[in-house]
Amino acid sequence: MQNNKAFSILELLVVIAIIAVISVFGYPKVDSWLADREVKTEVNRLIAYIEEKKSEVQSNKYPIIVIGFYQNMELWHMTQSEYSIQMKVPADGRTNRNNPSQYNNKSILNYYKMGPCCLDTIDYSNWVKETSGQFQWSGDTWHWMNSRMFLSKNAIIAPGTNHFTVRDNNSTNQDAFIMICSKTNTSNHYQGSSSNPCNNSGKEEHRYVLQMDRSLNVNSFKYNSSTDRWIKQQR
């Protein structure tokens, strides 16, 4: 009986040792998986938000919606009445800075089919800044870079996205407009830290980028550190 008891204790110690080894070597993988899941969840939330705003312009709620990608996200829109003024030909003088010949009698917005840089100070078009409904970051990620996205029905206005490139697994450069990184292994680019900043110069895992084409289709890519390439994600 004593031998059986001693053998049972020995077995228990062996099991404990095995569990300890598994915990030591398995924990980093679990931790990495959790970090990646946080970033992927943020990416999917942001894509869903963009799709929601695209639906609003397609349903004529607003003719143009602008999403500002900042630490404190922004949301703007143009009213239907202002849009009508902007699309009228010949255009109202204020919409082309009283210089109709330079813009073929169109507004500056209609002529270039591009949104302005500074919505709160621009003098040839009027924009409304929303006080609610902005996308809210979860707090688990950093983002780079700050920019604005213009969403319009049938993409009549260029989205103004894609400010940097990444290389995919076919060694093809892919345009992108925002990178989202895990806080577990990167730092905030905008705080000036030199330690693994969240931008396109890094080599850290748990980084995703979003791309928008001229027709407002959104694609996502995930960084693979073993190949130093960005893998297109299925939605």
78 has a pLDDT exceeding 90: yes
Q: What digits encode the pLDDT tens for the residues 25-71? A: 555 577 899 999 999 999 999 999 999 999 999 999 999 999 999 99
Structure tokens at 213: 């084409």
Structure tokens at 52: 């929601």
134 has a pLDDT exceeding 90: yes
pLDDT band at 17 (very low <50, low <70, confident <90, very high): low
Q: What digits encode the pLDDT tens for the residues 197-211? A: 999 988 999 999 999
d(CA 43, CA 218): 11
Q: Please report the pLDDT score of residue 29 as a whole number.
A: 72
Please give the span between the terminal C-alpha atoms of the chain, in angstroms, as a whole number. 61
Which residues have C-beta within 8 Å of that of residue 70, sequence separation ≥ 6? 146
Give the length of the chain: 235
Q: Which residues pair with 175 in a beta bridge?
A: 165
Q: Please report the pLDDT score of residue 1 as a whole number.
A: 47
Span 137-153, average pLDDT: 95
pTM for this prediction: 0.86
Structure tokens at 133: 């409904």
CB count in 10 Å sphere of residue 46: 24
d(CA 44, CA 50): 10
Q: What are the CA-CA distances from residue 90 to residues 87, 97, 156, 185 (Å)?
A: 9, 13, 18, 55
d(CA 66, CA 81): 17
Span 170-196, average pLDDT: 91
132 has a pLDDT exceeding 50: yes
Q: What digits encode the pLDDT tens for the residues 98-116? A: 999 999 999 999 999 999 9
The phi, psi pair for 40, rounded to 5°, reads -60, -40
Q: What are the CA-CA distances from residue 112 to residues 70, 96, 177, 233 (Å)?
A: 25, 11, 20, 33
Mean pLDDT estimate for the chain: 91
Q: Please report the pLDDT score of residue 177 as a whole number.
A: 96
Q: What is the DSSP string of 123-161?
A: SSS--EE-SS------SSEEEE--EEEEEEGGG-SB---
Q: Comparing 15-24, 32-41, 179-188, which segment has the lowest mean pLDDT?
A: 15-24
d(CA 155, CA 54): 9
Whether omega before 90 lies within 30 degrees of 0, making that bond cis, reads yes
Q: Please report the pLDDT score of residue 179 as a whole number.
A: 97
Q: Please report the pLDDT score of residue 7 as a whole number.
A: 56
Percent of the chain exceeding pLDDT 90 equals 79
Q: What digits encode the pLDDT tens for the residues 211-230? A: 999 999 999 999 999 999 99
Q: Comparing 4-13, 35-44, 72-81, 101-110, which segment has the lowest mean pLDDT?
A: 4-13
d(CA 52, CA 173): 28
15 has a pLDDT exceeding 80: no
Span 149-169, average pLDDT: 95
pLDDT band at 23 (very low <50, low <70, confident <90, very high): low
